Structure 1
Amino acid sequence: MVGTVIITGASGSLALEAVQQLLSSHPSVTIVGTTRNTKKSPPNPQLHRLQEMAHRYPSSKLLIKSVDLNSLVEVRAFSDEIAGLVESNELPPISAIICNAFTWSLEGQQFSKDRFESTFQVSHLSHLLLVLKLLRSMDPQTGRVVMLSSEVHDPEHPNAFSKLGADLPSNDSLDTLVNPGADEVGTEHDMGWRRYANSKLANVMFMQSLNKRLQQNPQFNKITVTSMDPGGLVNSRAHVAQRSVIRVLFRLFAFLLPVIKLFTYKLRSNADSARDVLALALAPEYASVRGHFNGRKPQPPARTKKHTKRKLRGHYIAEKAANLRFNRQPCRDSAYRVHPSGELIDRSYTNRHLNYTYNGR
């Protein structure tokens, strides 16, 4: 197959395996992998491994781009660059966007360059912006978007590692997702888990909303969106942020994984999950498939309160939580839809050339 596959957080544990598998099994695909800082010297071991892959497969196309998802300016610039390369035929149309990058803060709040809470911006908001800006650059016949989810996106799912799970604020308080108040002393760890879970729930709800709007437009109704729970990755580097007892536990899980996999697929390796996400992104058997998955198995997403689900659609988080705004003209369409020009618009506004602006504080 020929096309461009974008993977955010390409030096992450799952993404490194995905890039490796893509290079070996799909040599004709152009891979664009984003990392936070490609100019770091010396490169960290993960970035070094990614750079080595490019040298190991000289006939393949692996472009490593520096994009800090903690900066909406950088996300916007990267999106514009890729769109320009596709338009000029320097890159083939985008076959898949794998929204893999994430961050979390289990020892206290961290904030982005935009002064937003980092977990929500990196895991959700920047990906929302990236996908919407690149929609017109996707292959209209086979394009796919994969949002990374988690089992903790479900507010009804118990979390063995935290007392707090997903709990979206009311519609008139969505700005607290990116501008939270200070954590109470002693709750930093569990509040970090809640922020992570909320970002994953927002990803799933964005998947549902975007699918609905794409299906309503004949020009884009073949582009699909899925969200995938990658499972508990026993050898993920993300565990360095966990409590020491949890780190020890996951090292034990990694050792016992061959036996554990005989009984459950809740725990898996980076390589296992990489195969799953690439199947959703590229495999013929998942063409035209939409919805939420646990690995490659369809799984119902979290049930959300009707009023929250109605409001928490597409741009609503961007507009209400992060103050991302769009050039506006009145439009009679309900909710947001895909304009014939190829841009997504929200329920009240349309403009031929959608322009993302950030009203900084």
Structure 2
Amino acid sequence: MAGTIIFTGANGSLGLYAVEHLLTKYPEHTALLTVRNATDADPNTGKLRDLIARFPNTKATIYQVDLSRLSDVHDFATVVAEQVESNKLPRIIGIVCNAFYWNLVGGPDMTVDGFEKSFAVSHVAHVALVLRLIGLFSPDGGRVTLLSSDAHYPGKNPTERIPPVIPEDLDLLPKPSATKGDTFGLGYQRYANSKLALTTWMYALNSHLEKDSNLRNVTAIALHPGALVDSRSLRTNAPGYLRIAQTLVLRPFLPILRLQNPTYRKARDAGVDTMELALGKIHPGERGYFVCRDPDESAPQSRDDEVQEKLWAKSAEWAGITEDKTALKLNS
């Protein structure tokens, strides 16, 4: 059955290929594609608009949503909800939380809501979006796909200098106390912490979905899409040596790198797999943590039931979600 799929960060490296795959193979669905800047002043949005133009018979719309502003997220959710409830849009079958932010050369950057920007964009905004719209999924179910990273798992990514952790005081996640020292290490930890939080929250989301008789057919996964050698992120808010490594090592030596670590791959392959998972075409009905396209084991702290439930409650608070704004129960 045709449905609506929402995709954040749709003009990103992975996003463009995921959208292309959706429009090529599944044109019956309606795509709501969010970007931070919807004007052609952003060349990547221009690429997205050109991509959509190649498929004139598909139903795809670009929305400007600044995920670093919670008011933008809630306004977008309200618009979508009104359109679904008035049958102007079909019921939702998928939400792909792909957008993220990092700053490895400065920061921490704070949002207008007073949150550290990596955490606000990657975690808080997506919590708000999912909880606002979860009750509008098709009765047949669907899937929430949260883009994670191997960075969430302490010791997994060689770029890590300071391991990610969910602290006892959860408010240190959106408002970190460590702001001086190793700029790169702290910046990468903030990014990794946002992915650890999102992965941990995924388990709590699944627990609450399974307890709800109306929503138990909706599944949630956290997906590490792979180490993308052609990702634009390596050239954004990143030190110059990462750009050089991408040009001289990662791209030309991809076949050799894959012998050591098969998760190294191109954004095109990751985009295709992400969309196939998001639509439940592969591993339908399954939940949990995935790497590339298959189930895997997430970081130990993310699998701690107590941490999951504490983060569930706190995330709703950060996101401005109250009982009247979501179809799910916020308490256990």
Q: Does the pair score TM above 0.5?
A: yes
Q: Which residue of 2 aligns with 1:346?
A: 330
How far apart, CA to CA, are the structure 1 residues paired with 2:305 and 2:24?
46
SS in 2 for 1:109: coil
Distance 1:259 1:327, change over 3 A: closer
Is residue 274 of structure 2 the alignment partner of residue 277 of structure 1? yes
Q: How does 1:123-142 map to 2 (within 5 A)?
A: 123-142=122-141
- The Cα offsets for residues 296-315 of structure 1, whole Å up to 9 and x where unpaired, read as 11101111184852543323
Letter in 2 for 1:7: F
Point out 4+ residue stretches in structure 1 off by more than 4 angstroms. Answer: 305-308
- The Cα offsets for residues 182-207 of structure 1, whole Å up to 9 and x where unpaired, read as 512x3221111111111111111111
SS in 2 for 1:312: helix
> Shift of the alpha carbon at 1:213?
1.1
Contact in 1 for aligned 2:151/2:157 (Cα 8 Å)? yes
Contact in 1 for aligned 2:212/2:328 (Cα 8 Å)? no
Quick one: which of 248, 252, 269 aligns to 2:244?
A: 248
Contact in 2 for aligned 1:227/1:291 (Cα 8 Å)? yes
Q: Which residue of 2 aligns with 1:351?
A: none
Contact in 2 for aligned 1:149/1:204 (Cα 8 Å)? yes
> Across the two proteins, how many residue pairs are aligned to each other?
328
> Shift of the alpha carbon at 1:72?
0.5
How far apart, CA to CA, are the structure 1 residues paired with 2:20 and 2:38?
18
How far apart, CA to CA, are the structure 2 residues paired with 1:323 and 1:278?
26
How far apart, CA to CA, are the structure 2 residues paired with 1:325 and 1:55?
36
How far apart, CA to CA, are the structure 1 residues paired with 2:219 and 2:274?
14
Q: Which residue of 1 aligns with 2:112?
A: 113
How far apart, CA to CA, are the structure 2 residues paired with 1:117 and 1:327?
25
Higher relative contact order (CA 8 A, sep 6+): 2
Letter in 2 for 1:135: I
Is residue 21 of structure 2 the alignment partner of residue 3 of structure 1? no
TM-score relative to the length of structure 2: 0.93
Contact in 2 for aligned 1:158/1:165 (Cα 8 Å)? no
Gaps of 5+ in 2: none
Gaps of 5+ in 1: 329-340, 349-361
TM-score relative to the length of structure 1: 0.85
Distance 1:180 1:285, change over 3 A: closer
Contact in 1 for aligned 2:3/2:30 (Cα 8 Å)? yes
How far apart, CA to CA, are the structure 1 residues paired with 2:123 and 2:192?
11
How far apart, CA to CA, are the structure 2 residues paired with 1:277 and 1:103?
19
Quick one: which of 171, 176, 179 aligns to 1:180?
A: 176
How far apart, CA to CA, are the structure 1 residues paired with 2:132 and 2:261?
38
How far apart, CA to CA, are the structure 1 residues paired with 2:28 and 2:260?
37
Q: Which moved more, 1:235-244 or 1:98-107?
A: 235-244
Letter in 2 for 1:167: V
Identity of aligned residues (%): 36
Distance 1:177 1:313, change over 3 A: closer
Letter in 2 for 1:76: H
SS in 2 for 1:274: helix
Q: Which residue of 2 aligns with 1:55?
A: 53
Distance 1:263 1:175, change over 3 A: closer
> Shift of the alpha carbon at 1:95?
0.9
How far apart, CA to CA, are the structure 1 residues paired with 2:274 and 2:201?
18
How far apart, CA to CA, are the structure 2 residues paired with 1:234 and 1:197?
18
How far apart, CA to CA, are the structure 1 residues paired with 2:83 and 2:91?
9
Is residue 193 of structure 2 the alignment partner of residue 221 of structure 1? no
Provide the aligned C-alpha RMSD in A: 2.0
- The Cα offsets for residues 220-256 of structure 1, whole Å up to 9 and x where unpaired, read as 1110000100111111110013322222222221122
Contact in 1 for aligned 2:127/2:315 (Cα 8 Å)? no
Is residue 41 of structure 2 the alignment partner of residue 43 of structure 1? yes
How far apart, CA to CA, are the structure 2 residues paired with 1:164 and 1:147?
23
Distance 1:323 1:216, change over 3 A: closer
Letter in 1 for 2:22: L
How far apart, CA to CA, are the structure 2 residues paired with 1:121 and 1:127?
9
Letter in 2 for 1:65: Y
How far apart, CA to CA, are the structure 2 residues paired with 1:89 and 1:323?
27
